[in-house]
Structure 1
């Protein structure tokens, strides 16, 4: 793996109705990265002024490395990541960070720390809120408990020992990313879990680091309780699909290639 000073970096910000927070997220990127990396905002069909805010910020600050892609139709959380991954791979980036546009994850020095960890030939480094203090950050009780229960089940199915599966603070090594069949994965919220299933299946190296989280008046919309239930059911379906395919009881083009 290249030294971090020679890596070509893309910092990807998925954004949906983030007009209140998107500038704060961009400005929370350390100067060294904000000035030298590609900062890619993918607006997933927002009905607020997210794209206009990004365009104005780019013009006012002369930030030529700020790239905006707007999905004319809402592609979903997973679909938006696919757009960013294609862009990063096509443009020869070594690392693609993901930092949510709703400001529920840190920027700052955590990005630098993550970048240093990527030097150790990892396919993925991601921030774990469970290694931090999610309660202090205002994470609702039902989300904390739901995350812990789902993580336990996911670890059992995948024979892994991750502290959580559901954080959106991530950095992918593009040399590994291009070897993963991410195009066939869901376009919905549980895309992150399906990516970890693929990475665990391949035996690629993964590292976690503790991160704070923030749930507050300017931290975006998140997902509702009902959406959380749908998210959980989607994860169960993906885990069963993976397990049954691994045992030869069904064929899954998500997690295994069949010719």
Structure 2
């Protein structure tokens, strides 16, 4: 618990057996009420590892639904368990679980409904070994998005995020992509509906076992980000309508 708020951490997992133990061992279980792992039809023994670690809530997709599809299952289960605060953490140990407490505390104040753990604030990305081409792409896409979405965020592409229950109940995440652009579409919705976003600096680690998309999928993701940003701006101007920008 954080105050009187129920805190749930969700782990969208795919082939995370090599890193799950390191990630889970750093989760502050003294304040986290529940941990949910959703396995997206892994080809390794992620599920067996999760069971051995004693994770209570393990959901297994019988076929691969994609990164966005995995998160949808995560958030559905967290809401069903009565979460007031939900933190999405990748189990590949790229982000430190030690930031769970401050992220949850920010949400619990009610001042912000979303917290992003930014790899860009404090130069965490470069120091952690982010490939140069990914860093440059991150900066260019973020600059473009800040202009079209009217924000001043340091990055839109972190996979470490905290949400209030209100956001997950009112933003229609089921209407979003099942692929990697899900993250970006969700932030677009959150900004469209005027929820407040905080950022904290987050160190990151790039190593062989850490998940990462290849160049081809990175290009597809970037094009999806651009499309989402343009659509967001056109909807704000009233020049088009889209079901993505409708609340539940």
- CA displacement 1:32-59 (0-9 Å, x = unmatched): 13xx51110111111111111111222x
Given the alignment of the two structures, is residue 18 of structure 1 paired with residue 20 of structure 2, yes or no? no
Matches within 5 A, 1:59-98: 66-98=56-88
Provide TM-score, normalisation by structure 1: 0.90
Counterpart position of 2:213: 223
Shift of 1:124: 0.5
- Is 1:55 aligned to residue 55 of structure 2? no
Say whether the 8 Å CA contact 1:245–1:256 is kept in structure 2. Answer: no
Please state how far the C-alpha of 1:72 moved relative to its aligned partner. 0.9
Unaligned 5+ residue runs, structure 2? Answer: none
Deviation at 1:71, TM superposition (A): 0.9
Structure 1 residue 251 displacement after superposition: 2.6
Pick from 205, 208, 225: which aligns with 2:199? 208
What is the rounded CA distance, in whole Å, between the counterparts of 2:4 and 2:40 in structure 1?
31
Number of aligned residue pairs: give it.
245
Hey, what does 1:158 align to over in structure 2? 149
- In the other structure, the counterpart of 2:231 is 241
> TM-score scaled to structure 2, two decimals?
0.94
The answer as to 2:38 corresponding to 1:42 is yes
8 Å Cα contact 1:82/1:182 also seen in 2: yes
Computed over aligned residues only, the root mean square deviation of the Cα atoms, in angstroms, reads 1.5
1:128 and 1:239 mapped to 2: Cα distance?
Answer: 19
CA offset at residue 256 of structure 1?
A: 3.8
Structure 1, unaligned stretches of length 5 or more? none
For the Cα contact (< 8 Å) 1:129–1:210, is it kept in 2?
yes
Q: CA deviation at 1:236?
A: 1.2
Q: Which residue of 2 aligns with 1:142?
A: 133
SS in 1 for 2:86: strand
Q: Kindly indicate whether the alpha-carbon contact (under 8 Å) linking 1:8 and 1:95 is maintained by their aligned counterparts in 2.
A: yes
